[in-house]
Structure 1
Amino acid sequence: MDGVDWDEDDPFEEQRDSVESPMRRLLVEYGRPYWFSVSIGLIASVLARALDLLPALMLAVAIDAVFSDAAFAEQVPLSALPEAWLPTTEMGQFTFVVVVIAGSFAFGAIFHWLRNWGFNAFSQSVQHDVRTATYDKMQRLDMEFFANKQTGEMMSVLSNDVNQLERFLNEGMNSATRLIVMVVGITVLLFWLEPQLALVSLAPVPLIAMFTYLFVKKIQPKYAAVRSSVGKVNSRLENNLGGINVIKSSNTESFESGRVEDVSRKYYDTNWGAIWLRIKFFPGLQLISGIGFVLTFLVGGYWVFTGTGPGPITGELAVGTFVVFIMYTQQLVWPMAQFGQVINMYQRAEASSERIFGLMDEQGRIERDANADELEVYEGRVAYERVGFAYDDGEPVLEDVSFEVDGGETVALVGPTGAGKSTVLKLLLRLYDVDEGTIRIDGQDVRDVSLSSLRRSMGYVGQESFLFYGTVEENIAYGSFDASREEIEAAARAAEAHDFVQNLPDGYDTMVGERGVKLSGGQRQRIAIARAVLEDPDILVLDEATSDVDTETEMLIQRSIDDLTEDRTTFAIAHRLSTIKDADQILVLEGGQIVERGTHAKLLEEDGLYAHLWGVQAGEIDDLPQEFIERAQRRQARTEAKQYD
C-alpha cells in the first residue's frame, strides 16, 4: 500500500557491508585534529571521578580515627603521606578531614566543567566535520546514485545518523570514561582496604560481563534495522510534503495519512524490538549488580558484629572500612548498570557510522582526475562519435549515436518519450560517462578535462526550473555569486523577467519560497533563463525550457531564448516542435538511435517520424498512418513497463 517494500534490504546495506572498523575510522580520520579538547576531557574526567571517590575514604578515616581510638596516621588512605603533614589533635584531625572533603568537591567541580567542555567541543567539532564531509561527498556522486536512493533516506544519514555519532562522542565517551574510572578506582581501593571482602563485593562482575556480551550480540542487528526504518519514514514524509499540492487537489489526505501511519507503524515495530530488549536488559543488569551490594552488606555486617569473618575469611574489619565498602559497592551498582547504556549508545553509533562511511566510500562510474586539463572552448564545436550508453540495468539507452555540431549552431533533439534525448545531453554534461565512443568539444574528449571547467562552460535550463529558497536576486546570481545588481537586472531583461520581477512585493529582494513555490511556472523558467544569461556560457543546454507555460508566456520565453542562443552552440530538447523548427539541425531519436536528421523543412518532406510527430501537434491525427499509431502504442507500453521495473 505505501509503495515501500519493508522486506527488502536496507538501501545502504551494500555500502555498510564494505565498511571495516567504522568507529576506529571515525576517531582516526575525524577525531585526530581535535586531540587537545578530547584529551582535556579525558584527563579532567579521570581526575573528577578520582576526587568523587575521596569523600567516602575520608569518612572512613573520621569514623575509625576521629570518632574511635584508631591511630590517625595509620589509616589506609593516609599511610602513604608523610607523618609531618598530618595533625595530631582530634580537632586538627577533624578539620583536616573536613578540608580534604571540601577540597575534593571544589576541585571536582572544576574538573567536571573541564570534562564537559572537552567532550562537548570534541563531539561538536567531529559532528560538524562528518556532516559537511558526508554532504560534500554525496553531492559529488553520480546521478545514478541519486536515481536509486530516496531523498528522505539521504537526509536520514545527514541528520539522524550524524546526530547519533555526536551523542556517543559526547555522552557515550564521557560516560565510558566515568565508568572505567569508577569501576577501576573502586576495585583498586576495595582490594587495598580489604582484599577478602573485595572478592565478595566483585563476585557478580563475570556474570555482568557475560550478560552484557549477549545483549550486544542481539541488539546490533536491531539497531541497523532501526536506522534503515528511519530513512524510510523520512522518505515517505519528504515525498508527501513535496507533493502536498497533488494530495490536496486529489482529496487524498486520508489515504496519505494511512500511508504515513503504515510506515510509522513499521518504524514503531522495528524500534520497539530494540526497546523491548533494552527494557529487559537494564533492570536485569541492575539486579545482578545489586547482588554485590547485598553480599557485601551481609558478609561485612556479620564480620563487624561478630568480630570474625564467616567461613574462610580471617582477621578483623573496622567499622569505617565496612562503611566505605557499603558506599563503594552502592556506587558500583549504578556504573555497572550504566555500562549497558554506553554499549547501547556505541551500537547505535556504530550502525550510523557504517551508513555514513558506506556512503563516503561509494564509487561512481565517473572517473575524476584531479590533474586533468582545463577545457578550452574556441569555437564550441561538439562531436558525438559512435556513443553508446546503458544505465545500471544494462539495457542500452543509446546505441551508435554520432553527429557533429559546428560552433554557434543550434541542434534540436526530438523524438518520443524514452528515445534517449535527455541522456544525450546528460552525457555532454558528464552527469554520466559514455560506455562506448567519445564526446569531444573542440577536439577535446570531455573525459580528459576537469569536471569543473566542463560544466563551467555550459549553461543549463531545464523543464523543472528549480529555484532555491531565497530571493529572486540570489536565484538569478546562483553560480555567478559576484555579479552586481546591474548585471543581474540586465540578465533578467534579456530573459523577459525584469518587468514581472519589478511588480513583485519586494522586487529583486522578494523571497520566492521553497523551490520557488510563490512564482508561476513561467516566472520560474524565466528566472532560470536569466541565470543562464548571467553565466554567459559557451554552450547552452535547453531541456524543454518552455514545457510548463502557456502560449503567451512561451512566446516571451522564446524571444529571450532566441537572443541567448545567438552565436552560441545550443542543444535543445522540445516536445513542442514549434519552438525548434528554426534550429540549424534537428536530430530525431527513436529507441536510442538517430533515425532522422536535417532541417525542419527537409524532415517534413521525408514524411517520416518527425513529420508524423509534427502532424500530431498540428491536430492532423486522422491523417496519421496506422503503423505510426501502433509503434507509438508499443513504445508507450515499453516505457511504462520500464518505469514499473
Structure 2
Amino acid sequence: MRRSLALTPESDGKAPSTPAAPRSDWATIAKLLPYLWRYRWRVGFALSFMLFAKLSNVAVPLLLKSLVDSLVIKPGSAASMAVVPLGLLVAYGALRLMTSLFTELRELIFAKATEGTARSISLQVFRHLHALSLRFHLERQTGGMTRDIERGTRAVHSLISYSLYSIVPTLIEVTLVLSLLAIKFDAWFAYITLAALVLYISFTIVVTEWRTKFRKQLNELDSVAHSRAIDSLLNYETVKYFNNEDFEARRYDESLEKLRRAQLKAQSTLSLLNTGQQLIIATALVLMLWRATVGVVSGTMSLGDLVMVNAFMIQLYIPLNFLGVIYREIKQSLTDLDKMFGLLEREREVADVPGAVELAVQGAAVRFESVNFAYDKTRPILRDVSFEIPAGKKVAVVGPSGSGKSTLARLLYRFYDIDAGRITIDGQDLRGVTQSSLRRSIGIVPQDTVLFNDTVAYNIAYGRPGASQDEVEAAARAAHIHAFINASPKGYATMVGERGLKLSGGEKQRVAIARTLLKNPPLLIFDEATSALDSTNERAIQAELESAAQNKTVLVIAHRLSTVVDAHEILVLEAGRIVERGSHEALLAQQGTYARMWRLQQSGGDQPVPALQA
C-alpha cells in the first residue's frame, strides 16, 4: 500500500513536533529576505531602474501639458508652431521609450534573483523532506504536499514580482503625483487624491482580509481534491480489482462539488471588492476633473493643466485598479509561502547528534542490546530484544506477521530512534554516527519493492549512482534478470512505469536484488528477498545471494523457513520478544515454536532448498 494511504495513528504521542501555527505576514517576509540578500546588488540595480522608469512616467503628463498649451497659438507665430510641438512630440516619445526601457532593464536584472531564490528554497525544502523521519512520510498525503510545494515555489515569483513590480512603483508614483499636484495647484487636488487613496486602500485591505478565509478554504479543498485524484490514480490496479471506479468518481465529485461552492463564494466576494473599488475611483476622478474644469473656466488653469490632471489620474488609478488583485495575490502568496516554510520547520525526529562521526566499519558486527521500541506508545512493538550478528555471519529472524521482524531492519537503518537500549555496529552506537555513513554501509532487498518511473538501467544503477553499464549488467546477471531485460525491445532502456507497475512482482524483486548487489555494502538485510519468485528462480537467486553474502554480515527476515536453515543463528520473534534462538537443528530438537512452524510449512509443501540445507 502506498505510504500516503498508510493507516498510521496521527496521535501516536511519538512525533516530536506538530505543524507550526501560521506566522504573521511580516514574519514570512523576514524568512524570505535572507534568500534575497545574496542578490542585494541586483535588488539595488533593479530598484534604481524602477525609480528611473517612474520618473520618466511622471514626466509624461508634464510634457503633455506643455504640448497642449503650445497649441494655443497667437496670430503670426507660425514658425513657433512648426518647431515647438515637434520638439515636444519627440521628447514625449523619448519619455515613453525610456519608461519601457527602464522597466525591461529592471525585470532583466532581477530575473536571476527571482529564479535563484525560488530554486534555493525549493531545493532546501526537497532536501529537508528527505531528511524527515519515516513517520512523517507515512502520515503525509503526497498529492496535498506536492501541491503545497508547487504553490510555495510559485508564491516566491508572485511575491517578488508583485511587491517589486507593482506595490513599490505605485507608492513611488503616488508620492510624486501628490507632490506635483500640491505644488502646481491648490491643495484640494492633493487632498482629494490622498483621501481617495486612503479610502481605496482601506476598503481593499478590509474586504481582502475578510475574503482570505474563503480563499484558504478554497486552497484546502483544492488540495483535498488533488490528493484524492492522485491517490486513486496511483492505486489504479486496486480500484480495478474491486470494481470501484464509480465509488472513486463519486468521492472525487464530492470534493469537486465542495470546491465549486467555495469558488463561487470566492468569486462573489471578489465582485463585491471590485465594484467598491471602481466606485471610489470613479468618484475621485469626477471630483478632480470637476475642479480642473472650474479652474480652466475661471482662467486659473490652462487647458494643458486639465489634460495633465486627467493624465495623472489615469496613470495613478490604472495600477490602483489592480491593487485589490495584487493585495489578494500577495496575501495568498504569503500564505502559500508560509506553508512551505512550515515544511522546512518540521523538526527531524531522527537527527545526527552534534559531533556525530562517520561509521568506521571493520567487520560490521551488529548488536541489539535490550532494545525497546513502539511506533505508538500505547502498543509496544519490541520488548527487551537482545541479539548479536557476528561479523561475516548470517542471523535470521522468523515469526508471525506483526511480531516486529521488519521493525528490526527499520531500526538498523535508523529510520526511527529506539525508546530504550542500544544498537551498535562494531561497537559504535548508531545514535552517535552520521546517518549518511550508516546507510552507506547497509544494503536491503525489501519485500515490497517500489521502483522509480524510469528505465531498468536507472533503477539498477540507483544502488550505486555513477556505476558503468558493464557493472549494471553484471549485477543484473547475478540477479538473473539480464536475459529478461535483453529480451525486451528497448533492453536496459525499458521504462518500468509508475512504481514499477509494468514489471511483475518477481521482476521488480530481481531489480531490487540487482541494485543491492551493485551497492555491495558490508552489511546486508534480506527482508523476504525472494518472496515474489517462483521455486526455480528462488533456488538460483538464493545461491547468488549466498555468494554475494560471503564475508558480509547478513540479517535475514523470513517467513519461509527453508530459506534460512543455514543461518548462524535463527531468532524466533513473537509479540516483540525473542522466544527461541539457536541453529536450525537445535531449534528443531527443542520441539517448540520453530519446530511447529517447520512442520506446518513442510506439510504445506514448502520443501527446503537443497543448496541451503545444513
TM-score > 0.5 by shorter chain: yes
Correspondence 1:140 to 2:131 = yes
Q: Give the Cα separation in 1 of the matches to 2:40 and 2:559.
A: 59
Correspondence 1:114 to 2:118 = no
Call closer, same or farther: CA 1:234–1:93 in 2, change over 3 Å.
Answer: same
Partner of 2:19: 15
Correspondence 1:341 to 2:325 = yes
Q: Give the Cα separation in 1 of the matches to 2:136 and 2:391.
A: 33
| Deviation by residue 1:93-137 (Cα, 9 ceiling, x = unmatched) | 323311220110222221121122234333222111111111011
Partner of 2:426: 442
Q: Give the Cα separation in 2 of the matches to 1:294 and 1:581.
A: 94
> Residue 289 of structure 1: which of 277, 281, 286 is its match?
281
Correspondence 1:268 to 2:252 = no
| Deviation by residue 1:487-520 (Cα, 9 ceiling, x = unmatched) | 2222222222222222222322333233222222
| Deviation by residue 1:534-592 (Cα, 9 ceiling, x = unmatched) | 11111001112222233333333322222222221111112223222332222222222
Partner of 1:233: 225
Partner of 1:222: 214
Task: Could you tell me which runs of 5 or more consecutive residues in structure 1 were left unpaired when the two chains were aligned.
Answer: 70-87, 308-315, 622-645
Q: Give the Cα separation in 2 of the matches to 1:540 and 1:484.
A: 22
Partner of 2:292: 300
Matched letter for residue 482 of structure 1: G
Partner of 2:203: 211
> Residue 352 of structure 1: which of 320, 333, 336 is its match?
336
Give the CA deviation at 1:437. Answer: 0.7
Give the CA deviation at 1:171. Answer: 4.1
Call closer, same or farther: CA 1:392–1:344 in 2, change over 3 Å.
Answer: farther
> Residue 547 of structure 1: which of 531, 534, 541 is its match?
531
Partner of 1:639: none
Q: Give the Cα separation in 2 of the matches to 1:502 and 1:156.
A: 39
| Deviation by residue 1:574-614 (Cα, 9 ceiling, x = unmatched) | 22232223322222222222222222333333343333433
CA contact (8 A) 1:586 1:600 kept: yes
Give 3-state SS (helix, strand or coil) of 2:322's partner.
helix
Partner of 1:637: none
Correspondence 1:175 to 2:180 = no
Q: Give the Cα separation in 2 of the matches to 1:200 and 1:461.
A: 75
CA contact (8 A) 1:22 1:357 kept: no
Partner of 1:200: 192
State the identity %: 33
CA contact (8 A) 1:186 1:328 kept: yes
CA contact (8 A) 1:22 1:354 kept: no
> Residue 243 of structure 1: which of 205, 228, 235 is its match?
235
Q: Give the Cα separation in 2 of the matches to 1:544 and 1:229.
A: 40
Give the CA deviation at 1:301. Answer: 1.9
| Deviation by residue 1:262-294 (Cα, 9 ceiling, x = unmatched) | 222333334444333222212211221221101
Call closer, same or farther: CA 1:14–1:47 in 2, change over 3 Å.
Answer: farther
Call closer, same or farther: CA 1:224–1:392 in 2, change over 3 Å.
Answer: farther
CA contact (8 A) 1:461 1:532 kept: yes
Matched letter for residue 272 of structure 2: K
Call closer, same or farther: CA 1:131–1:294 in 2, change over 3 Å.
Answer: same
Correspondence 1:45 to 2:50 = yes
Q: Give the Cα separation in 2 of the matches to 1:4 and 1:523.
A: 25
Call closer, same or farther: CA 1:380–1:400 in 2, change over 3 Å.
Answer: same
| Deviation by residue 1:192-239 (Cα, 9 ceiling, x = unmatched) | 221233323433223223212312432333343344333322321221
Give the CA deviation at 1:370. Answer: 6.2
CA contact (8 A) 1:161 1:349 kept: yes
Q: Give the Cα separation in 2 of the matches to 1:138 and 1:43.
A: 38
CA contact (8 A) 1:380 1:569 kept: yes
| TM-score when normalising by structure 2 | 0.89
Call closer, same or farther: CA 1:202–1:379 in 2, change over 3 Å.
Answer: closer
Call closer, same or farther: CA 1:327–1:585 in 2, change over 3 Å.
Answer: same
Matched letter for residue 546 of structure 2: D
Partner of 1:472: 456
Q: Give the Cα separation in 1 of the matches to 2:154 and 2:43.
A: 18
CA contact (8 A) 1:387 1:436 kept: yes
CA contact (8 A) 2:366 2:425 kept: yes
Give the CA deviation at 1:140. Answer: 0.9
Task: Could you tell me which runs of 5 or more consecutive residues in structure 2 were left unpaired when the two chains were aligned.
Answer: 606-614
CA contact (8 A) 1:22 1:350 kept: no
Q: Give the Cα separation in 1 of the matches to 2:349 and 2:422.
A: 16
> Residue 33 of structure 2: which of 28, 33, 53 is its match?
28
Matched ranges for 1:182-193 at <5 A = 182-193=173-184
CA contact (8 A) 2:159 2:334 kept: no
Matched letter for residue 208 of structure 1: Y
CA contact (8 A) 1:469 1:515 kept: yes
Give the CA deviation at 1:139. Answer: 0.7
Give 3-state SS (helix, strand or coil) of 1:548's partner.
coil
Give 3-state SS (helix, strand or coil) of 1:396's partner.
coil
> Residue 152 of structure 1: which of 128, 140, 143 is its match?
143
CA contact (8 A) 1:470 1:512 kept: yes
Matched letter for residue 113 of structure 1: E
Partner of 2:248: 256
Correspondence 1:421 to 2:405 = yes
Give the CA deviation at 1:620. Answer: 6.6
Partner of 2:557: 573
> Residue 590 of structure 1: which of 569, 574, 580 is its match?
574
Give 3-state SS (helix, strand or coil) of 1:514's partner.
coil
Call closer, same or farther: CA 1:62–1:484 in 2, change over 3 Å.
Answer: closer
CA contact (8 A) 1:581 1:600 kept: yes
